């Protein structure tokens, strides 16, 4: 069997273009085409012209992975990781601010957003780590979590909650691919679940108040949180079989206790978030509670999508879109423009194209003969799937508004460059590490 790693990437003749992974490239080009159409509708044409300019610029940049060995990224992983941290520190020191967030470095011709670049840096760093140290137990998972902790905290400080959550999606996706079991992943995400479950439902036990930062917080345990703790306890008992050793009993008790403490202190930890973040994370449950404030985005988005019906109003004919009734319709809510102008048929088509792209990413990860390359592919899959699911979900009112762009469709210079760079890395992996017959 001929392995593609034996051949470097050079386009010596036009027929070589046929060897590109068009199963990935063709649907991406379709999505980019839709993105340009939607940006033309979402503004006065300035968004489209800038996005096209950035697209052309990015093509000059992202061809780089084709001429670089896959293992080059592995060899330079530490440098890439440290450079990424440097950029994130620069944002906090001299970053440009907009709408209460300090996330950009102004280079004049473009505003660079290091938090987007960090996604690729984290994927490469985790791939280099996991390719040498597969996950054998939850302790390996905890050690690997230290890799994403510094960039996660720096992004959270900006603040950029949506991107910070994307890092967690990348981490858990790559951890699973590196050997983490369902129990390992459950333990890793259990503190987050404890916070969420103790934030919904009616209080089952009221355990008094606590004074913190000149505020009084009521501490309680909801019925959903109690059920989750019981589920976690039984899950750990079944999987760890504590009757084999007293140390296992202590281990299970410490895990359940730590989750109880995290969930119990949820009101205090909730106060760490900015008020607008708190509203964004809760308003999707009932946007009518604040129809002119935090719920306005969701209400207008739902109206636009519903207004499109089956076939939509046609390109550039959306009534709410042309009237700019949907806030951030060129970025976070670009899917609303798609729904109003192309209707149910158009949205389903785009979702199916996204699904095909994600399937091809998994296909590349499964069939690569290089563990490091396979981990990079699954990391890119994790970040794309998180963005697609969260962005479309928030425009439909079933997910919190976290400011996550929709790949290839939303306006954004750095985001588009990172999206295309990710695709070209996958094309390089497909060319160099997949058996040729799998094309």
263 in any annotated domain: no
SS3 258: helix
Whether residue 12 is predicted with pLDDT greater than 50 in this model: the reply is no
| Structural domain harbouring 145 | 4-153+274-438
Residue-wise pLDDT tens digits, 274-309:
666 666 666 555 665 655 655 677 778 888 888 888
Residue-wise pLDDT tens digits, 217-238:
677 788 888 888 999 999 999 9
DSSP 95-162: -EEETTEEEEEE-SS-EE-HHHHHHHHHHHHHHHHHHHS---SHHHHHHHHHHHHHHHHHHHHTT-HH
CB 409 within 8 A of CB 38: yes
247 in any annotated domain: no
212 sits in which H/E element: strand 203-212
341 in any annotated domain: yes
Residue-wise pLDDT tens digits, 184-194:
888 888 888 88
Positive or negative torsion for Cα 147, 418, 193, 365: negative
Return the minimum-mean-pLDDT range out of 17-26, 142-151, 335-344: 17-26
Q: Given this model, what pLDDT does residue 130 score?
A: 93
CA distances 287 to 234, 270, 291, 298, 302, Å, are 36, 20, 6, 7, 11
CB atoms within 10 A of CB 51: 21
* The total number of residues written for the chain in this structure: 439
**Integer Cα distance of 272 and 156 in angstroms:** 11
Give the residue-averaged pLDDT of 28-51. 86
Q: How far is CA 278 from the centre of its chain?
A: 19
More confident residue, 72 or 112: 72
φ/ψ of 217, rounded to 5, equals -115, 135
Would you place residue 124 in the very low, low, confident or very high pLDDT band (cuts 50, 70, 90)? Answer: very high
309 in any annotated domain: yes
The tally of domains found in the chain comes to 1
204 in any annotated domain: no
364 in any annotated domain: yes
Give the residue-averaged pLDDT of 395-414. 83
264 in any annotated domain: no
304 in any annotated domain: yes
CB atoms within 10 A of CB 7: 12
Residues in Cβ contact with 161 at an 8 Å cutoff, skipping those fewer than 6 apart:
273, 277, 280, 281, 402, 403
């Amino acid at each position: 069997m001929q392995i593609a790693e034996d051949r470097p990437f050079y386009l010596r003749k036009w027929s070589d273009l046929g060897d590109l992974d068009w199963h990935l490239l063709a649907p991406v080009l379709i999505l980019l085409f839709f993105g340009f159409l939607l940006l033309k509708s979402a503004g006065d044409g300035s968004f489209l012209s800038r996005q096209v300019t950035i697209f052309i610029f990015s093509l000059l940049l992202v061809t780089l992975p084709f001429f670089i060995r896959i293992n080059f990224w592995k060899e330079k992983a530490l440098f890439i990781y440290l450079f990424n941290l440097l950029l994130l520190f620069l944002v906090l020191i001299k970053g440009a601010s907009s709408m209460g967030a300090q996330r950009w470095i102004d280079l004049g011709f473009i505003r660079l957003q290091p938090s987007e670049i960090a996604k690729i840096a984290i994927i490469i760093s985790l791939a280099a780590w996991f390719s040498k140290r597969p996950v054998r137990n939850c302790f390996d998972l905890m050690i690997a979590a230290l890799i994403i902790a510094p960039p996660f905290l720096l992004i959270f400080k900006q603040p950029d909650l949506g991107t910070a959550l994307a890092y967690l999606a990348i981490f858990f996706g790559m951890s699973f691919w590196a050997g983490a079991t369902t129990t390992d992943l459950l333990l890793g995400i259990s503190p987050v679940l404890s916070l969420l479950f103790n934030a919904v439902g009616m209080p089952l036990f009221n355990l008094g108040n606590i004074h913190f930062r000149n505020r009084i917080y009521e501490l309680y345990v909801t019925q959903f949180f109690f059920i989750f703790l019981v589920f976690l306890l039984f899950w750990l008992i079944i999987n760890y079989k504590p009757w084999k050793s007293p140390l296992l009993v202590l281990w299970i008790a410490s895990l359940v206790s730590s989750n109880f403490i995290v969930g119990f202190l949820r009101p205090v930890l909730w106060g760490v978030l900015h008020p607008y973040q708190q509203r964004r994370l809760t308003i999707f449950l009932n946007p009518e509670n604040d129809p002119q404030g935090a719920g306005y985005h969701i209400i207008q988005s739902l109206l636009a999508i519903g207004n499109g019906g089956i076939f939509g109003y046609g390109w550039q004919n959306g009534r709410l879109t042309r009237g700019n009734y949907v806030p951030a319709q060129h970025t976070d809510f670009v899917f609303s423009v798609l729904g109003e102008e192309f209707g149910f048929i158009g949205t389903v088509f785009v979702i199916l194209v996204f699904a095909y792209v994600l399937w091809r990413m998994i296909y590349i990860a499964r069939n690569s003969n290089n563990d490091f390359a396979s981990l990079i592919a699954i990391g890119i899959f994790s970040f794309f799937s998180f963005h697609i699911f969260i962005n479309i979900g928030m425009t439909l009112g079933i997910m919190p508004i976290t400011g996550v762009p929709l790949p290839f469709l939303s306006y954004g210079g750095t985001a588009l460059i990172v999206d295309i760079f990710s695709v070209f890395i996958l094309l390089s992996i497909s060319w160099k590490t997949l058996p040729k017959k799998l094309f």
